[in-house]
Amino acid sequence: MTDTDATPTEVPVADADWWRQATVYQVYPRSFADSDGDGLGDIAGVTSRVPYLAQLGVDAIWLSPFYPSELADGGYDVADYRDVDPRLGTLADFDDMVAAAHGAGLKVIVDIVPNHTSDQHVWFREALASEPGSPARARYVFRDGLDGGATPPSTWPSNFGGSAWTRLTRPDGTPEQWYLHLFAPEQPDLDWSNLEVRDDFKATLRFWSDRGVDGFRVDVAHGLAKDLVEPLRDANPKDFGLPTDGSDPLYDRDEVHEIFQEWREVLDEYDPPRTAVAEAWVARERVSLYARPTELGQAFNFELTRAEFDPAEFRTIIESNLELAAESGASSTWVLSNHDVVRHATRYGLPATTDGDAFLLSGGTSPELDRATGLRRARAASMLMLALPGSAYVYQGEELGLFEVADIPDDQLQDPVWIRTEHGLKGRDGCRVPLPWDTSSPAFGFGTHEPHLPQPAWFADSAVSVEEGDADSTLSLYRRALALRHQLQRGEDLTWVDDDPAVVHFARHDGWHSVTNFSTEAAALPEGEVLLSSGPVETPAGGAAQLPGETTVWLRVR
């Protein structure tokens, strides 16, 4: 990998704490906006939509990987960490995008994928061409098989199904060593005890920081340090959660924190320091270790992506994560949707016990999706999230109230999960369908060519151009909520108001209250000026104002 000359872009606001209360909008670049008509979204497409994002009122854009990739895992298989996939543009396009975002007052966060490279990465190609025991293989995890070579070196499973080991074969057909891939075979794991690997990622952090990016989202942060001492120990089954003592051989090992302490030193070379947020699927009480100010500074809290629309669950998640964030010195993070989970408008429109995978496998026909309920609850949950202290991560399309596209034909599915589970799980394509921007252009304004995943006809109802003209649309709700959040969001605490177990009610500063009624029955609406509500609030003639079911209201209480 070679560094190219960076064109530093000015970082507009030297505010080291900008991230603590930021709303960060996740762009999945290949599905956001296609400027050159090849069916794939691109960097210039993001630039063209910066005014939309600024008007929406978010503070930062996080771009999922846009690096050269053979797309074995939607770009999370990176062939070169310091370049732009030619199908998505050039480094000059990237600089233009950063300049446009900064010009509009938006920060830019990029994804960094350190657990594994693509099998097309120059290092892996070199490893394949080198002998067992060579320095080229030592950057990855190559091992001899057991039982004379034919059995994988351990029982470790891939997160996408099947074994985490793939055996190599020489050109003449002779089988040889196995290599580790915790995800797809096209994503070989790096060995983070190798100093060359460690130094190279620090160079990548500097490369993008020099180009003006404000922060990093760190993929599989909990997976880098592994216990590779032989005999390799069995990993803990994921269904039972990870141990909290760092004893799993693959995930959440204590040594991983040394890596992020080194990264913090690099991030702090910049003014303002670059931020980072860890993707770490670990036990709740260990998430905050990644978020310490001496490490990445922030970590995702994914608990709301797994919660039912239930007041007790929401309340417990909010309380415990605020406490943990306070302990680590970070601010909390909130996520309802992202590129890995079924969109929340769909989750909330299915019967509570439904497993989203079963719904996807039925092509979205069974159980039947209750769209009205799903959207009503999604709007209520989104407003609740946006009232919380900490950073809110908004996934592209949730501001339109998009549902999951559950009926993508099998032969058009791209997610390796579909292939690796031998069609046992549909995977994540349904939340990655290109966005609908308008109803009068091909591909709903996404681009001029057929998009890389098919868009359903019902996207027409949720296109940006349609929702912009509708004061009651979800887009209008997000715009108003984000504008208010900008005015009101300060401090990092809240005060609970306990008046009804079906209601989650808390007060922030200056009399700002957020009240969510999780039941289907109306509840009493506390007195105050209604600033915004996720659904219609009516005051019966001569009666007290009511908080309708499955609705959030923001109030100013004097």
Q: Binding residues for ligand NOJ, per CB under 6 A? A: 73, 76, 113, 183, 219-220, 279, 339-340
Provide the sign of the torsion angle of the four alpha carbons 211, 217, 220, 224, taken in this order. positive
Q: Which of 219, 340, 404, 467 is catalytic?
A: 219
Helix (H) / strand (E) containing 514: strand 512-517
What is 102-121 written as a DSSP string?
Answer: HHTT-EEEEEE--SB--TTS
CB of 281: closest distance to ligand NOJ in angstroms? 9
Q: To 10 degrees, the CA torsion angle through 258, 263, 269, 270?
A: -140
Closest residue to ligand NOJ, Cβ-based? 76
Residues 6+ apart with CB under 8 A from 72: 118, 119, 184, 186, 187, 416
Q: What's the min distance (Å) between Cβ of 110 and ligand NOJ?
A: 14
> Is residue 110 left, alpha or beta, with left meaning phi > 0 and alpha meaning psi from -120 to 50?
beta
What are the distances in angstroms from CA 457 to CA 405, 406, 439, 460, 475? 11, 13, 10, 6, 19
Distance of CA 516 to the CA centre of its chain: 25
Minimum CB separation of residue 339 from ligand NOJ in Å reads 6
Q: By the 8 A CB rule, do 547 and 524 touch? A: yes
95 is catalytic: no
- Please state the three-class secondary structure of 166-230 as a single string: EEEECCCCCEEEEEECCCCCCCCEECCCCHHHHHHHHHHHHHHHHCCCCEEEECCHHHCCCCCCC
- Quote the least distance from Cβ 113 to ligand NOJ, whole Å: 6
Two tokens, residue 343: 């969109």
Does 219 participate in catalysis according to the annotation? yes
| Smallest separation (angstroms) from ligand NOJ to the CB of 392 | 18
Sign, Cα dihedral of 308, 309, 313, 319:
positive
Least distance (Å) between residue 193 CB and ligand NOJ:
20
Catalytic option among 3, 15, 131, 269: 269
For the annotated catalytic residues, the residue numbers are 219, 269
